[in-house]
Amino acid sequence: MIRKATDADRARIYDVRMAVRENQLSDSSRAKVDETADWIFRNAAFWVWEEAGTVQGFAVADPRDGTIFGLFIHPDYEGRGLARALLPLACEDLRAAGFSAATLTTGAGTRAERFYRINGWEETGRQDDGQVIFRKPL
């Protein structure tokens, strides 16, 4: 089942985020991620995939800057189409906020990079740390 997250889902969303094998959070970035997540919980939406009675994946956009803030699936549920089902909802949130394109960054050489390329996202550059910058028209 796909639905909007509630405050009761926050702990499990955090668990899913911390369980991923790629794109793990560094200690230095956790505070910024927590701050942005707090804002989104108050003002926008996290979309979650619930299965077996708990959240197994989520997608979230930041309507302040037109970015996909996160798309994470618990490793036990990878490869089942959850990401392909959740990502369009986050993109729709950006379209509703007035954006004509979505952007995101992800690690080079990762499953995520391959996923975005296969799903029509266009590389527009690289960050200084090597992260791939993607863009997709909405």
Q: What are phi and psi of 56, to 5 degrees?
A: -115, -10
This prediction has a pTM of 0.91
63 in a structural domain = yes
CATH number for the domain spanning 48: value is 3.40.630.30
pLDDT digits (tens, 9 = 90+) for 4-31: 999 999 999 999 998 988 877 776 677 7
89 in a structural domain = yes
pLDDT digits (tens, 9 = 90+) for 94-124: 999 999 999 999 999 999 999 999 999 999 9
7 in a structural domain = yes
Beta bridge mates, 60: 46, 70
DSSP characters over 110-124: SHHHHHHHHTT-EEE
47 in a structural domain = yes
Q: Report how many domains make up the chain.
A: 1
95 in a structural domain = yes
Q: Tokens for 114, please give them.
A: 């391959």
25 in a structural domain = yes
121 in a structural domain = no
127 in a structural domain = no
Q: What is the pLDDT of residue 87?
A: 98
Domain encompassing residue 13: 2-99
Q: Tokens for 126, please give them.
A: 């690289």
57: left (phi over 0), alpha (psi -120 to 50) or beta: beta
